[in-house]
Structures are given as structure tokens and as C-alpha cells.
Amino acid sequence: MNLDDTIVAVSSPPGAAWRGIVRLSGADSIPIADGPFRVDGCHGGGLAAIEGNCHVQGMLAVGGGVLPSSAYLFRAPHSYTRQDIVEIHVLGSPGVLGLIVEACLARGARRAEPGEFTARAYLAGAFDLSQVHAIAGMIAARSDHQLQAAERLLHGALGRIAREAREELGELLSLVEGALDFADEPIEFITLGELRERLTALRKTLASSAAAGLRAERWGRLPHVLLSGKPNVGKSSLLNRLTGLDRAICASVAGTTRDVLSAPMTVGETECLLLDVAGVDEGASGLARAAQAAARRAADETDAVVYVIDATVGRGEDRPWEDRFGDRPVIVAVNKCDLVSSSRRHEMIATFSASGDVAVCPTSAVTGTGCDAIKEEIHKALHGRSVDVHESAIAMMAEHREALEEAAEAVRNAEAVAADGDEHLDNGELVAAELRAAARAVGTLVGEEATEDILGRIFSRFCVGK
């Protein structure tokens, strides 16, 4: 990546809009923007004659026409990338924005690569690597809670944890290595008891930080709602009815669904992913057993469950969903209610509503009866998830959690080695090796151990213009 040239890209979302933005960054940003942009008033020298960071009105000459526009100047080092930046704000027509980019390219700019603006900010020291992830998370946030979790990451919550952990690891490592270097001298650098206590406290901090990350949803992950129940109770028909999509094949033969089917669904202001899996069959074998395994994996990752029961068959188990979904909220859909008498329908509703800990919705996937009630109950279940609203949730990515878990495991190993001694540290070399491994893992959180390959993968996830 060449940091000495000037890059340009459309920075606003794709598609037509009232306002569009073209962004330039680099030493020649202002002279290049001076080509198509004309400043209103008496600035004979154009943008270059204006001092400091400012907003100016002007006209934009592109494609043989002239459009009113604005330019925002951010001079180095007081800018996002720590370089000179110009943002041209104009009518958000994709054609107009494309012409502006072409005009800048003709004057010597280069098209920005995905994430290159943020990459320049990172390389200039404006952010650490965890904050770079936070910026990507804020762009991809689908809810206020996701945005808040990403803001905690941007404001350095994870970076502070990583730096404090690395400082503690460095201090412990120096004490352990000091004890090794002066093993023959009557010098006690750290007692075995103190080492154990500090290792335990550090491990708990790393583990709780990883848990806080799990309380926030990963980028782009919608809440998952699982349709579960015995074979042939109408789960696939209900998937099609609730989502308005013909995603699932529906047949009267049990076992039609083999794989995990999914379709997006909006409930209230919340978007979620509705999953249809093979019916619960403990005696399955062969291909059906593989379908059951896929269903269990989907159940492990779900946020709420719609358990579907066939109103036309015997009652069977009183509460068949118990012990299968942990503490996840369950909505019971008593399906095929259009095929039974009202007394039978009321009997089943009363049976499953007796404990009061589940919502019961009489339903017909054929007529649509009860589907609005199911959506309302799903919305309630997802809206109240603690994973969304916990104030300590930090929007980590998979790499963050893996690094924290790797560091915690290394510290746990060091604890185990230290636990073998009675009064003296007999295996200090092993403890030191585990502490170094933990420090390397923690360093990746803020980019201190980042390689060019890792950075390339991170910034490739950004859209062009960010």
C-alpha cells in the first residue's frame, strides 16, 4: 500500500440519495479537488487559498454541467487519516459521483482500495487494531445495541484491557525470568503464592472480557429463531407463511426437511433469521441422523424457539421442548388448528399454558391464523435478550475472542505449572514460555503482533471509501 499518493473514492452508501460524498486523502487532495470545484466568493486561489479546517460552498463543474456543492477541508494532521482530506458533498446521483471520481483520477488521484482510508488512519497511529474493528462494526451495526457495543470498542475498551493485560504479563515475565537468572542468589523476586494469585486474577480478567464479547452479536449476524418440533407438524409451511417466501418444500410425508433452511423475517423493528430444521426424531439413522445433528447445531446457536405442535394428534409429551433449549425463550405454536374443534383447540392451549412460562399461539400455516401473534411473541423474546442490552457488551469479532481465549488458556497453563511447587517455583522456564504465549496473543488485539497478511484481511472487509 502506497501512502504517499492521493486516493479518491465515493464515501457515501451506494444508490441514489439526496446527498453523496466523494472523499480524497493525501498530500495532493486539495489541488486535485480544486479542478472540478469552484469556491463561491472571493477566493481567487480556490481551496488552496483557504486556511485551516473549514466548510465552503461552491459549484462543481462535471460532465459539461454545473451543480451546487460543498467542500469540507481537513488539513493534516487534524483529519481522519492524519493527511489532507477533502470531502465533496453534492447531489447523490451515482452518475454524478462517478464523474467526480473520474475528474479526480484525471488530475492524478488513485482509486482507493477497500478500507484504505481507515488503513491510513491506523498506520498513522490514529487507532489501534481493536478500534479499526470497531469502525467496521459501527458501519455494519443493525441495531442501537450493536452500535453501542461497537462504540465501546471504538472508545478503547478492548485496547485498555489488552494493554493492561500485556503490562501485567510483562511484569510477571520479568519477575519469573529474574528468579531464573539469579536462582543461586538469596533474592526473592516474587513468592509462589503471589504469582499464583496474580495469574488467577489475570486469567479471570481475560475470560470475563471474552464473555463480554459474546454478549454482543457478531457483525452482520441477525438473531436466529428456530422452528422446532416433531416431523410433519407443519414447520416448513409455517416458515413459508411467516416469511412470505417459498423457501421450504412442503409435503405430507414426514422427513421432507433434511438440511437447515433459513429465511429473513421482520418482527416489529427487528430483523431476524427464521430457521427450519428436521423434525425431532431420536431414533433416526443414516441421512436422517445427519439431519438431526444439523438441527442440534442450529439449536445451540438460536436466540429464540418456536416449538410447533400438531393439534390433530394426541397430546403426547406435556412439555416436549423442556431440557432441549436451555434458557432460551420458547413460543409454542399449536398448528393445524383449522382442522380441529374449538374445544380441542382450547384444551391444548390450556394444557401448554398451565405453567405460564411459555406463550401459546393457536396457529394455522394454511390460513395464516395466529401468525401475527407468533411474530409479536418473537419480537418480545428478541427485544428482551440480555445479550443485546448488557452494558458491558463489547462488539468483538471472532479474532478478538480467539486471542482472549488463547491468552487465558496460556495463563491457565502457567497456573497449572505454578501449582506444582510447594514453596519454590521449580519449573520457571515453563511458566515463562506460557506468559510469552499469552503476551503474543494479547498483542494481536491492538496490532502489536499484526502481520501484513493479517492487516490485509482486516481492511479487505471494509467497503471502498471507508
Structure-derived torsion over alpha carbons of residues 118, 120, 122, 126, reported in degrees to the nearest 10:
-100
pTM of the model: 0.52
Q: Which pLDDT score, from 0 to 100, does residue 157 have?
A: 75
Nearest to 400 by CA among 133, 166, 199, 119: 133
What's the alpha-carbon Rg for the chain, to the nearest Å?
30
Q: Which pLDDT score, from 0 to 100, does residue 132 have?
A: 76
Return left, alpha or beta for 156; rule: phi > 0 is left, psi -120 to 50 is alpha, else beta. Answer: left
Q: Rounded CA gap, 150 and 133, in Å?
A: 8
Q: Which pLDDT score, from 0 to 100, does residue 398 have?
A: 67
What is the pLDDT confidence band of residue 7, given thresholds at 50, 70 and 90?
very high
Rounded to the nearest 10 degrees, what angle do helices 452-460 and 129-140 cross at? Answer: 20
Q: Which helix (H) or strand (E) holds 135?
A: helix 129-140
- 415, pLDDT greater than 80: yes
Question: Which are the contacts of 30, defined by CB distance < 8 A and separation ≥ 6?
Answer: 47, 48, 73, 84, 86
Nearest to 310 by CA among 291, 338, 290, 272: 338
Q: Stretch 225-238: mean pLDDT, rounded?
A: 86
CB 227 within 8 A of CB 275: yes
Q: Rounded CA gap, 440 and 130, in Å?
A: 15
CB 433 within 8 A of CB 172: no
**pLDDT digit string, tens, across residues 163-221:** 889 889 988 888 888 777 776 666 667 888 888 899 999 998 888 777 666 555 444 46
The torsion angles phi and psi of 399, rounded to 5 degrees, stand at -65, -35
Which domains does the chain possess? 7-128 (3.30.1360.120), 134-215+394-446 (1.20.120.430), 227-384 (3.40.50.300)
Nearest to 288 by CA among 251, 255, 252, 254: 255
